Each structure stands twice: as structure tokens, then as C-alpha cells.
Amino acid sequence: MVVTVTLNPCIDRTIWISGFEYGGTNRILRTRQDVCGKGVNVGAALRNLGVETLCLGFNYLENGALLERSMDAQGVAHDFVEVPGSLRMNIKVFDEARRVMTEFNERGEAVDAAAVKRLTGKTEEYMDRAELLVLSGSAPQGVPEDIYGRLIRLAHQKGVRTVLDASGALFREGLKEKPFLIKPNRDEFEEAFGTELAAGKSMEEIAQGIVAQGIAYVCVSMGAEGAMLTCAEGVFRADAPDVEVQGVQGAGDSLVAGMCAALTGKALASAGQAAEEDVLRFAVAAAGASLMRPGTQMCLREDFCKLLKEVRIRKL
């Protein structure tokens, strides 16, 4: 089973326009609303790929029933710590003319130390059943910056592999505990390792150095340029699938789900234990399948299977 943790769940309201006019009037073509969060998204994608998953995290008393109903409808198991307040609202504006997304994300309502302690204890309880623990996304106020580091440390004690997909201090503090796999996007990678880049090191060299320090996989997602995976066996690249983009949010979470599916060997009945290259192949296929769906919707199994045959991996 893959266990995911979502500290900052949300409601994504996606608005489609054509030709965004900054400071002007924009006519809305259509809208949709999705209840989600990065760990929740990973869980939904894994469920679609046939991998058993459980979503943990915080949920808010005022309107958290929306999140639970959404997950129940998708058949995704969950066990949240309830806290006062309401789910944050994120506005996503997709310009169809330029195929560009502009995001306005709320910070999230604060949680207290007691809630953090309850979530830490609940996560530790489920580690006995977990093959992988996925820690992804931002944190609301009141959550310590080293929360992911603490959970990674607990997972090490239980022999559970961890996946870290975060930014800023959450990412930097988590790195100190040597998770099994990290998945920054290019901007997050450049923010975290800007000093090394400025000193003339390439992204590939930095990733190889991270692996040498004890992190098994470094996957950098690069949007339309695809993704790069670094591990002990080398550095691998894959181009993004050629698909008609309907929505970009959630693609990174589907990418994480694809890697988890490969690492557990359960995405396809005939796949068996995936080879190193397949970790990247599964990731890129899942991300591409998510891009084919509007709003914050995750990859579907049939689209994933189709794209999996088309992804080509090259070793650098």
C-alpha cells in the first residue's frame, strides 16, 4: 500500500478564457471545481492505476465533507485529522490561446501543535502497512518546517521508503533526512540548489551528487520538456508525450503516482518489478495522461497504458 500525506487540502476552481488581458475584462468560457491537494491527487491517480492507497492529512470542519465525498466517489481510502476552519480556495486561470496556466493559491488556515502531533502519530501507525510514504505539497500555518523531515525519520525507523515532493524550507528540511526519492520541478530544483548552479555545476551533476549522498532517485519534472531521472544506474531523460493539453494542474502529482506504481510493480498486471528506466517511463506516461484531462483531474488507466507504449527513454 502507498500512504500519502496532504497537509494543505484545497478546492481548485479552474477558469478557461481565450487571450488573457492583464488589467482588462476577460470573458469566461467555462469553469469547473475540484476538491484536491497534492497527496490527495497522488492517491486518486494511484487508485486509477490499480494501486492500493490511503490518504492521510488535515481536513477542515466547515466544508471538509466536500473532500471526503469526493474521495469516497473515487474509491480512495482516507483517514484525516479534522481541524477548525475551511478548505482553502485556489483559482486557476487557463488561457486557451496561449496554453498557459496562471494560479492564485490561498495559504490555508492555521492548525495547532496538537493537530500536528495527532497527524504524526496517525502516520506512524499506518507505516506498518505501507510500502511507500508520499509527502507532498505545502503546509498551512502552524506546521513546523521540518514536518516532512520528522516523518521521513520515522519512516526510516520502520523501514518504509519515502517520496518527497515539496518546495522551500519543507523541501530543504526533508532533504536532510535522505528520503528514498525526491521530485522537484525545475523551479524548485533551481531554488534549492541555486548556489551550485551559479558555481557552474549542471543539473545532472548536482543530481548525481545528491544520489551519491544517499538519495536513491532524483526526478526533476520540466513541463513541456519532459523529465529527468537520476539514480545509481545513471541519468535518464524522457520527452513529454505529444498530447492535447486540457489542464496542467495535477500533472506533477500524476507523475509521482506513476513512479510509485513502478516502484511497487502494480500499475500493470504484466509489469512485474519495474526496471530503473521504467520508473521514468511510468512517471511521464502518467503525467501525460493527466494533461489530457481538464481541471485538476488525474490520469486514467487507459490513457496511461496507451502513452506508456509511446514514451522513449534515453540515457545521458
Distance (Å, whole) CA 147 – CA 192: 18
Looking at the domain assignment, is residue 9 inside a domain? no
- Structural domain range at position 242: 37-80+110-315
Confidence at residue 295, expressed as pLDDT on a 0 to 100 scale: 63
What domain count does the chain have? 1
What's this model's pTM, rounded to 2 decimal places?
0.91
Looking at the domain assignment, is residue 262 inside a domain? yes
Specify the CATH number for the domain of residue 74.
Answer: 3.40.1190.20
Looking at the domain assignment, is residue 186 inside a domain? yes
Confidence at residue 213, expressed as pLDDT on a 0 to 100 scale: 95
What 3-state DSSP class applies to 87?
coil
* Predicted confidence (pLDDT) per residue in 76-97, tens digit: 999 999 999 999 999 999 998 9
Looking at the domain assignment, is residue 139 inside a domain? yes
Distance (Å, whole) CA 220 – CA 295: 23
Looking at the domain assignment, is residue 286 inside a domain? yes
Looking at the domain assignment, is residue 244 inside a domain? yes
Sign of the dihedral defined by the CA atoms of residues 211, 135, 240, 261, in that order: positive
Looking at the domain assignment, is residue 164 inside a domain? yes
Burial of 224 (C-beta count, 10 Å sphere; 0-12/13-18/19+):
exposed
Q: What percentage of the chain exceeds 90 in pLDDT?
A: 82
Positions of the chain with pLDDT under 50: 269-273
Distance (Å, whole) CA 171 – CA 168: 5
Looking at the domain assignment, is residue 135 inside a domain? yes
Confidence at residue 241, expressed as pLDDT on a 0 to 100 scale: 85
